[in-house]
A and B are shown apart, each in its own frame.
Chain A
């Protein structure tokens, strides 16, 4: 209790938003009840809806490679534009690269191979994720790929010793918003299926702001001077999965990516090269 009072005092001095003196409920805007430690409670199962993982810039529905075997279930749906300002500000060189990737996207897209999608794309792939909010760490476990990451609340200003596919996440609370700076990602991931790529200089600043019991405003600001002319921001809601049996299950995608990655090496394969590029 003493710790809670102290945490609430500190929190109220900072933002006066967590509702510590109101039985865990705040006044407008409605936010999640506080965790005992003070900040808003983001615990639970969440999911982005929409088509951001296909195309952040939106567009009409199109026929996809999977329609050959899945028919109407294999099409790529229409989507809104999630990019503030409408367009991703590529440098000229990077725009050319993106056009090359886009022309053969299903051969290049790392997610086709079941490679870890990185941040931010992992957030809006169309399967739920579970936020576990510890006192000094936040863990996010994603159903897609059974991937995960740790957000360090207790390591301000630090960087990773090594790059990784999910990068290195350092978080802090700014009022009701969990701000996460993600650095040291491998340069191999994409932000959607249209060739939206980046370099090893990528920095992603995510902002998770609860806007009621059951949704979070999610923003991600993308910075990479090797690829983009200026920082740019995507924005979308995250929805709480409210079913009684809401639970992140398992989509280990290796068995589903093996045909793409190793199919040419199967006994009797009638081709010598993989259907996907940029392997190893």
Chain B
């Protein structure tokens, strides 16, 4: 083989490798040459965050197993149960009264993640969330206990009840509803608009200015930069009780956004807080492109619940019937 032939062969091989790499040819790019992250993205999923015990030694499902699992979800939903083991006679009727959310309101995922993994957590390798340290549980206990008390004012309800933060948007993870976000992107910034509580972040792509550790934000302080074709966002400085997964004041969250193809955005986040969890953990999900719009979820503007909760608390105190059992059942789980 001549030197020239060798070079040509090498180029052909390199092109072949590049063009056969998953999704390489299908990744849309922006006018400034970066992979496009833009669009509306659906992040609801039926894949559990932590690997269930029954899949303890199984990292991936087969396509057939995934289809069977999804069918089971659909059937359980139809019978009014949220998850396996939650099939109870008459629960659905009671749920309308007790919780107020029924199947007409909920928008829970019915599809296994495109990776066919048995958990969204990919690290630790067992797919399970590391244990929370006992001191972290003690730190979080007052906030949890407070929500079981008769609230003296709105501050005693959860941050989600107050429409300050959402339960599924930082990091973005599949929840009961509003599992959608939109990205608009320029060369200098990436905007992420999540439907839940109508929240957003504008993240500079140049690493951004720093901020004092004593300055705290409900949605944390995020800076970003490109790592090859992946946009990496690092967040810290969360306010108390607004941290992801019950972490503490020094948590660092790292999110990675990688466009896989026209229809898919891989979203990965790592939660690192040795004061709370015995090890960092990383979850990964394939978000699906959707033509659905992100609607304005004007949570505070329509928070009919809060005045009713407070009015009920005052009445029960006046009647001498205040107790710790008055909140909906899901608050006690």
Binding site for B on A (CB under 8 A): 3-4, 7, 35-37, 43-44, 114-116, 130, 132-139, 141, 146-148, 150, 162, 164-166, 244-250, 252, 254-255, 257-258, 261-262, 265-268, 279-280
Contact = CB atoms under 8 A, between A and B. Distances in A.
Given A36-B187, A43-B186, A262-B307, 7 more contacts: A3-B31, A137-B184, A146-B200, A150-B184, A164-B298, A262-B310, A268-B152
- Which secondary structure dominates chain A's binding surface? loop
Interface string B182-197: 1011111111010000
Interface centre among B188, B296, B301 (most CB of A within 10 A): B296
B308 to A, nearest CB: 9
A115 B301 contact: yes
A43 B189 contact: yes
B209 interface: yes
B198 A147 contact: yes
Q: Which 9 A/B pairs are nearest by Cβ-Cβ distance? A: A245-B209, A265-B310, A139-B184, A267-B152, A164-B296, A139-B191, A132-B191, A36-B31, A37-B31
A37 B30 CA distance: 9
Contacts of B301: 115-116, 165
Contacts of B187: 35-36, 43
Nearest to B210: A245
A130 B189 contact: yes
A39 to B, nearest CB: 11
A2 to B, nearest CB: 11
Contacts of B191: 130, 132, 139, 141, 148
Contacts of A136: 38
A280 B296 CA distance: 17
Contacts of A265: 153, 307, 310-311, 314
Contacts of A162: 295
Given A35-B31, A115-B300, A132-B191, A267 B186 contact: no
Nearest to A267: B152
A132 B185 contact: yes
A141 B202 CA distance: 7
A221 B190 CA distance: 30
B314 A267 contact: yes
Contact of B217 (A250, A255, A261): A250
A266 B304 CA distance: 16
A164 B186 contact: no
Contacts of B298: 115-116, 164-165
Interface string B164-193: 100000000000000000101111111101
Contacts of B306: 262
B154 A258 contact: yes
Nearest to A36: B31
A36 B185 CA distance: 13
Nearest to A44: B188
B219 interface: yes
Contact of B154 (A245, A252, A262, A279): A262
A249 B202 CA distance: 9
Contacts of A139: 184, 191, 193, 200, 202
Nearest to A263: B153
A262 B184 contact: no
Contacts of A247: 204, 208-209
A261 B309 CA distance: 13
Contacts of B256: none
A135 to B, nearest CB: 6
B163 interface: yes
B182 to A, nearest CB: 7
A92 B327 CA distance: 50
16 contacts: A44-B188, A130-B189, A134-B38, A135-B38, A141-B200, A148-B193, A164-B298, A165-B296, A244-B209, A245-B209, A258-B154, A262-B154, A262-B306, A265-B307, A265-B314, A279-B307
B162 interface: yes
Contacts of B226: none
B199 interface: yes
B162 A254 contact: yes
A220 B187 CA distance: 28
A163 B243 CA distance: 33
A138 B190 CA distance: 11
Nearest to B219: A250
B185 A134 contact: yes
Given A36-B32, A247-B209, A254-B163, A280 B304 contact: yes
B182 A150 contact: yes
Contacts of A266: 152-153, 310
A134 B296 contact: no
B278 interface: no
Contacts of B204: 247
A137 B38 contact: yes
B107 interface: no
B272 to A, nearest CB: 22
Interface centre among A3, A36, A279 (most CB of B within 10 A): A36
